[in-house]
Structure 1
Amino acid sequence: MNKIMNKTAVIGIIGLGYVGLPLAMEKAKAGYKTIGFDIQKKKVDMVNSGVSYIGDIQSEDLIKMTASGQLSATNDWSFIKEVDCVAICVPTPLDKHKQPDLSYIKESVKNITQGLHKGMLIVLESTTYPGTTDELVKPLLEDSGLKCEEDFFLAFSPERVDPGNLIYKTQNTPKVVGGVGKKSTELAAALYRNVLFGEIFEVSSPEVAEMEKLLENTYRNVNIALANEMCIICEKMGINVWEVIEAAKTKPYGFQPFYPGPGIGGHCIPLDPYYLTWKAKEYDYDSRLIEAAGEINSYMPQYVSERAMRILNKYKKTLNGAAILILGIAYKPDIHDIRESPALKIIEELIRHGATVRYSDPYVANFQWKEIFLNSVELTADEIERADMVIILTDHSCYDYAFIQSNAKIVFDTKNAMKQIKNRCNIECI
């Protein structure tokens, strides 16, 4: 506790991705010597050179931290011995059966045990199912011979990162902390209070903290699924779902607006609910609502492809042989992240039905997904005019939607990005 409070503690961050690098920056800015660990040498070299690969981190800020010696990166695990507090910020993907893959966590803990020493604090930030900290991480650490809450301390504090959010960053987003015991909770909470500006909310156990993270993203998943299902029903009934939502928003209580779209993407919402459904089966419970929401959201890329086919039919065109221009493949506006982006599945569906697909995204120069490799094209009048249909999948703020509409034969708008366009003769909404 003394080291935390006087900022002589050395901080380790395992995993320098969208969660780890911003957290490492905040620890370094707060005055702690911080060491970032990552298995990708390219990331290590970029951090040490002051080159940011994360949209929310400016290279200028990174250069200041590395040049001052407050922040460094390495793939040499022997440096873990120098660390007093370590945060695990590694991916927790799903396998092909949509079951949790905790291999990155296990490998991280294995590396920590090489330098585990008395007084050390370990905080798991990677999203996972309730019980991971207590049932998996703790026993692996105790295999070293040291005892949790006596020799070392262990807590779970779920990451809350929203790439591209202009208001809430790592520094000012409230943080939840749950330790395996009172000492662990106090130490972890003290560290975060010394680093972050947001409220630090202490809970009674790691399981509570693990579950609240899953509730956050399952809540969004389920409500997005409701909006998507309303969208499908409204389209069949000839009702504008966007107008329905705007009308519902006028109620000052009991309603929070969620919006339909081509599907869900990113590193949290498409994955996290499956951690909960998987764990629930251990207790002989089928989480039917959550699973149904997952099915609806997973269907949306196919629905967009089918709608595109029907819209083209209205104009006496077929999807087979059609030239399709996709606008935006990032999973949300104004970022370059394409993880789990529904655009990838939609492009695959369109190509499978015989369409020729091109895309334009100022944030994503090119991508490879499965057997598909495409380069972004410049969004010119000629490029728009040559397309039989323009499909808006990401509503980047830099797009000139009036320019797009005026040059397009047909626009299929899945994000209601063209709501301000008055001449809507060639616009179809999801």
Structure 2
Amino acid sequence: MPVDLAVLGLARSGLPLAHAATAAGIGTIGYEPDEAARTGLGAGRPPRDALLTAAEVRRMLSRGFRASADPAVLGRVRTAAICAPTGLGPDGALDLAPVRTAAQTLAAHLRPRTTVIVESDVSPGSTEELVRPLLERGSGLRAGRDFHLAYSPSRLDPGNRRHGYANTPRVIGGLTPACTEAAAAFYGRLTDKVVRARGPREAETCKLLETNYRQVNIALMNEMAVFCHDLDIDLWDVIRCAESKPFGFHSFRPGPGVGGPGVPIDPNYLSYRSRSLGYPLRMVELAQEVNGRMPRYVAQRSAALLNEHGKSARGARVLLLGVTYKPDVAHQEGAPAREVATRLRDLGAQLSYHDPYVPQWRVAGRPVPRADSLYEAAAAADLTVLLQQHRTYDLQGLAAKAQLLLDTRGASPTGAAYRL
């Protein structure tokens, strides 16, 4: 199959893009300099931070996908997607070095009429101010005239069985209208709906808004959880009633904290950039502060619950259920479970954990024992704390077995457990 697409960076957003393109019959090659990652993919093993299963990777390989470390392959495609992973630097700004490296590598092999799409998490303005100059200097070509350049934020939701790659609308902002249309034509082969932004900056900022919308609303619910507990009000019944309003209310849920790769990056960047402009984004910063307090609150509630039942946190056997950042996925980026565990351990608790997706777990460099028999472990523990509601958990059954069950997700049947 002729290769039409090159994906630079085969991790969180890159591998799902390659999977969707391959499934759509688009000849796809992945550019991955890391030898271990290439070898693993060639053997059908996805990287740890990827959102695909081994079976999905094997299907990609059977359809012609391959990973290469030869940058020359980048000059043989009509579309190139930069999906290099980014993270936060020590100053709170995004580390765009992987994006810079990918753009420089691509520039040396860029051909006229190629469509270049940036999918990496970047700060607003990066496509035009960082990627464009690197591509133009390295290739001698001009963006918008000799090749197309656009930004399209990744909208992956791990574990979501309702919304996948095909039925999640794709936002695209091109340097010129022609750039937007070229990128739209590509994504139109992969998704049901394409949404055209005015330009790259609007598409970049769309991702920030979406992430901070979630962060702020979860912070509101976390504050309400503490408030309602102190006043002996059933928050979960309050939410149930509020959900009956057919307008002006969108339901979120409280929890032990906010995890995920986008959450620690986007709001922090936005706050950092706003301070550099001379004013803070107080709502975002406050939301981070509220959500950042939740692991401590969960540890405090755990200790208080033990105390109410005549037990001390010191020496108590505490079982933590679900240590990933989302239900039904294996990824732990930003998950509050580690901080909850650290704080409980500091209180003197003896910890164990159970998670069907995490065979081994370490906190602060120390291993946490894994419970092999879930129900026996819950019966033996002084306190069981549900941190993530994986579908495999029978919470009615767990509540019957556990001596004490603290449900931080509101997933257990009413009256079956203590709720956050």
Question: The TM-score by the shorter chain falls in which range?
Answer: over 0.9
Letter in structure 1 aligned against 2:124: P
Give 5+ residue unaligned stretches, structure 2: none
Equivalent residue letter for 2:141:
L
Q: Which amino acid aligns with 1:168?
A: H
Partner of 2:291: 297
* Residue range with higher mean Cα deviation, 95-104 or 167-176: 95-104
Q: Is the 8 A contact 1:128 1:275 kept in 2?
A: no
| 1:31-46 correspondence to structure 2 within 5 Å | 31-46=25-40
> Which has the higher mean CA deviation after the structures are superposed, 401-410 or 199-208?
401-410
* Alignment of structure 1 residues 17-416 onto 2, 5 Å: 17-52=11-46, 57-69=52-64, 71-144=65-138, 145-193=140-188, 195-416=189-410
8 Å Cα contact 1:118/1:152 also seen in 2: yes
* Number of matched pairs: 418
Aligned equivalents of 1:380 and 1:129: distance in 2? 43
Question: Deviations for 1:159-204, whole angstroms, at most 9, x for unmatched residues?
Answer: 00000111111122100100111221111111111x2232111111
Deviations 1:352-405 (A, max 9, x none): 222111100011111335423335322343322221110000011111222222
Residues 10-41 of structure 1: CA distance to partner in whole angstroms, max 9, x if unpaired?
Answer: 21111212311111011122222111122433
* C-alpha distance 311-64 of structure 1, shift in aligned 2 (>3 A): closer
Contact 1:48 1:66 in 2 (8 A): yes
Aligned identity (percent) is: 35
SS at match of 2:320: strand
Structure 1 residue 319 displacement after superposition:
1.4
Amino acid at match of 2:354: S
Secondary structure in 1 aligned to 2:94? Answer: coil
The letter for the 2-side match of 1:184 is: C
Q: Decide whether the 8 Å contact of 1:55 with 1:335 is kept in 2.
A: no
1:56–1:104 CA distance, 2 compared to 1 (3 A): closer
In 2 relative to 1, CA 382–369 (structure 1 residues): closer, same or farther, beyond 3 Å?
closer
Give the whole-Å Cα distance in 2 for the aligned partners of 1:253 and 1:65. 43
Q: Is the 1:98–1:274 contact (alpha carbons within 8 Å) kept by the matching residues of 2? A: yes
Q: Distance in 2 between matches of 1:58 and 1:418?
A: 29
2:306, 2:313 within 8 Å by CA — same for their partners in 1? yes
Deviation larger for 209-218 or 57-66: 57-66
Letter in 1 for 2:399: Q
Q: Are the equivalent residues in 1 in contact too, given 2:170–2:191 (CA < 8 A)?
A: no
Contact 2:396–2:413 under 8 Å retained in 1: no
**Aligned-pair distance for 1:231?**
0.5
* Worse-matched range after superposition: 286-295 or 269-278: 269-278
**Cα offset for 1:51?**
3.7
Contact 1:9 1:85 in 2 (8 A): no
Question: How many angstroms apart in 2 are the aligned matches of 1:37 and 1:370?
Answer: 34
Give the 3 Å change call, closer, same or farther, for CA 267–83 of structure 1 in structure 2: same
Give the Cα–Cα distance (whole angstroms) in 2 for the partners of residues 370 and 97 of structure 1.
23
TM-score scaled by length of structure 2: 0.94
